[in-house]
A and B are shown apart, each in its own frame.
Chain A
Amino acid sequence: MSTTQTKIVKKTESLEEAVIRFAGDSGDGMQLTGGQFTTSTAIVGNDLSTLPDYPAEIRAPAGSLAGVSGFQIHFSSKDIHTPGDALDVLVAMNPAALKANLQDLKPGGMLIVNTNAFTETNLKKVGYAKNPLEEESLTTKYQIFSVEVTRLTQNALEDLKLSAKLVDRSKNMFALGLMYWLYSRPMEPTIEWVKKKFAGKPDILEANLRVLKAGYHFGETTETFISHFEIKQAEIKPGKYRNITGNEATVLGIIAAKEVTGLELFLGSYPITPASDILHELSRYKYLGIKTFQAEDEIAAIGSAIGASFAGGFGITTTSGPGVCLKSEFINLAVKTELPLIVCDIQRGGPSTGLPTKTEQADLLQALFGRNGESPVPVIAASTPSDCFETMLEAFRIAIKYMTPVFFMSDGYLANGSEPWFIPSVSSLPKIEVKYRKEKEGFAPFVRDEKTLARPWAIPGTCGLEHVVGGLEAEQVTGRVSYDPVNHDAMVKIRAKKIANIENDIPELKILNGSDKGDLLILGWGSTLGSINAAIEKLLENGHKVANVHLRHLNPFPKNLGAVLKNFKHVLIPEVNLGQLRLLVRARYLVDAQGLNIVSGQPLKVRDIVEAAEKLLK
């Protein structure tokens, strides 16, 4: 390195927030780099939100557009809601990463590139005739920082005699180190992590640490960068935090529910993106008596879960939209036999195989109606990664109290996105009462609790309560097979009423931002919460009379939803689908709700919501 070793004193600029993205080939370790940056940022005390974006192909050809993997993080000294619409900094490890991500970089934003990867072959692979870094269209629009990441990494490791592959794999650490310097983050959490992770592999450990520090010092000592940034700690409720993804929070919710209920927990699952991590994670908790079963297919996965619930355990099945298609018949069996069950749908782009690694909210109507016959199922949806925890506990509560399958909806964005989570104390968790029927006196499989209309949970092994349940229509109370028309009509209505009545047992909707009357209400559900909150803040700043509410319960709706809607001149429902909640709301409440529907596999952008709202407000 020919850089001067004299320490240059560099300016530190204070910023409120930043949005950065690491992008490279899927083999470049961008997810790991992003994850490390997130941890250090959380420890600094910034509020943050992340968005990983990885390809569906496990090993797309190196350097190709299909193989680009990215990790975006938005961090701030203020409360934030989304991973950010546009980037302040893009780190591009190769031409493909540049090409796939440049459109998201703000004009004037910083573009940090690994120039060593901008070879003729790599440029050709993605259809660049000339090196774009030399094009005026780029050089005038962005601040370009050309860094020889590959060569600098090689230099740092010269004397270690590592394989070329290992050296190449270390270069993400250079980018990470450099970004740590640029945003004044501590390297210690990553140093600790590397030491733990590579404890048995001293050369890799040494290589990672050296390259990380080389990246940091490169920023500090060379003339490439003249200043760096600092983002103060956000004002966050005091307490203990951890960073958590939606899938992690879902798993913790399941574990917490198992502990709270004391039930024998059984997960029947089949591998599917983006839900598989839940299966992987839960299978590590066998010591708590949690049983995980990787079934032969989606159908067997839910069938075994229903069997578990019938036998007095608690069955869960985790999947994504294509899996829900296969499970429909079994969900109906759980509806008909009135057994507790949770179906987790981690939604992804559809239809069919669709976009396995991208997010979407287009399974709502499937969850509500995707079965034969009148088949009411409570549907609840998490709105942020950490909210998956509480939403899961709520799913358990409803399933057990009302003896019913429950749809738990998350999506690819929540599943893999992360945010800091205020760790709850175990004593603050909701109590969930489990009652097995024991008394013979007055028992019949379909005698109902007067209030909840739930049938008793009488489990095999209980003497004197032997009975048969099944998919054929059952006679009221006795549960015997019945083809009687009057009975069928009554049973259809009882099943519907049981689920509709849950509206009396869920919290009323609260206005989240703005006042309870005004010109425009933004109504959302699921993972759009962050974008909507950020948009509302902007709209309020712009002087509009707007407010927002967000649904966790989609079936049944909170009781006051109709009344809330009527207090506003306009209603806007932004969704990552073609208007599924809107269809339900219009049909049920006869309001002229308008939609914002962008189904791009990405979360909604704040600016799109603001724009749609302002159009309605004109």
Chain B
Amino acid sequence: MVISEQPKYTKADFESDNDVRWCPGCGDYAILSAVQQVMPQLGIPKEKFVFVSGIGCSSRFPYYMNCYGFHTIHGRALTVATGVKSVNPELSVWVITGDGDGLSIGGNHFLHAIRRNQDFKILLFNNKIYGLTKGQYSPTSEFGKKTKSTPMGSIDTPINPISLAIASGATFVARTVDKNVKHMMDILKQAAEHKGTAFVEIYQNCWVFNDNAFVSYTDKDVKSDNSVYLEDGKPLIFGNNHEKAIKLNGFHPEIIKVAGSNNPLIHDAKSEDRGLAYVLGQMGVENPGLPVAFGVLRKVQRPTYQELLYGQEEQAKQKPKGSLEQILNSGDTWVVK
């Protein structure tokens, strides 16, 4: 997008005058604030932002942004975003969804939007629970989770949103957490700059129905042992004193000591091969005993859906097949005198 004059905005320009109605203490507040702080830094005129959401706590998000917004129906935000971006590729389109909205009822659209590399951002607020409907288990809830609808514990194996996104061919995949606002803002900025689907999973604490679901990654005493922050081209080092690292043994990540350097794994977000991102995305989620990876897991370039769509249109315009008058008069015609 070429912008002639850099508009000057502040966070306040992106705050709407609607009362924010999330529960006090909800992780959504931090995400809202991070997004409102990032927007002014992007150099995009405010009227070009569109926030599209589905249904759920997170999906109230557009009401709190002073931007164009569409609070659609449950699970279907990605389909609406597809239409928005396809008729006006100039817009910066952001989809706000949750684990229930995006992966349960909207699971099908998730795969297809991502495989097409639709040119929009998907922020998935993962709180591992249904909040708006008051506490049923979600597709990311742990196996055995006791909720209102699973009094004896869930017998569903959870989905790892990152694995699903990578398997669907996502060109940008990242994970961040509500309590780490600085990191979140950095990730959001990178997502904004990415061309094609930028998928960001945000661990979000639901204070009412699933408090402390991510405490291992936010509590200051334990978080450094349970999380590894990725930087492209840098080794995977973590721990309170940066004393631990990840090493690959075949396809299996292992924890090693940094001391005595055993060749820790170097992150390569731009690898065309999805294998590394997939291994990293599984750590600590599907693969227990390892730290969870935060940061950009994968960032590659592939033509976006809109580039291909308009590319075909341009190609077709080189060989126009006639005006409306000619189209109406085509086929086998005859004249009655």
Contact = CB atoms under 8 A, between A and B. Distances in A.
B67 interface: yes
Contacts of B68: 460, 466-468
Contacts of B109: 296, 299-300, 303
Contact of B112 (A288, A296, A460, A481): A296
Contacts of A268: 79, 83
Given A236-B336, A303-B72, A311-B88, A480 B18 contact: yes
Contacts of A468: 16, 51, 62-63, 65, 68-71
A311 B333 contact: no
Contacts of B81: 307
B108 A297 contact: yes
Interface residues of A, number: 73
B334 A45 contact: yes
Contacts of A480: 18
A242 B329 contact: yes
Nearest to B59: A470
A315 interface: yes
A547 B292 CA distance: 77
Given A256-B328, A299-B76, A313 B336 contact: no
A259 B71 contact: no
Contacts of A333: 72-73
B46 interface: yes
Nearest to A313: B87
B296 interface: no
A313 B88 contact: yes
Contacts of A244: 331
Give the dominant DSSP class at A's interface.
mixed
Contacts of A133: none
Interface in B61-115: 62-63, 65-73, 76, 78-88, 90-91, 108-109, 111-112
B317 interface: yes
A480 to B, nearest CB: 7
Contact of B47 (A264, A305, A463): A463
A465 B49 CA distance: 12
Contacts of A300: 76, 78-79, 82, 108-109, 112
Contacts of A436: none
Given A287-B317, A299-B76, A307 B84 contact: yes
Given A310-B70, A466-B68, A295 B79 contact: yes
Contacts of A469: 69-71
A311 B84 contact: yes
Contacts of A291: 86-87, 309, 313
Interface string B237-267: 0000000000000000000000000000000
B45 interface: yes
A300 B78 CA distance: 8
A303 B91 contact: no
B79 A304 contact: yes
Contact of A242 (B76, B315, B332): B332
Contacts of A307: 52, 70, 79-87
A464 B66 CA distance: 10
Interface stretch (B141-149, B180-188, B281-289, B318-326): B318-326
B333 A304 contact: no
Given A303-B78, A304-B80, 20 more contacts: A233-B336, A238-B335, A241-B333, A242-B333, A243-B332, A287-B316, A300-B76, A300-B78, A306-B80, A307-B79, A307-B84, A308-B86, A308-B87, A311-B50, A311-B85, A315-B83, A462-B47, A468-B68, A470-B71, A470-B72
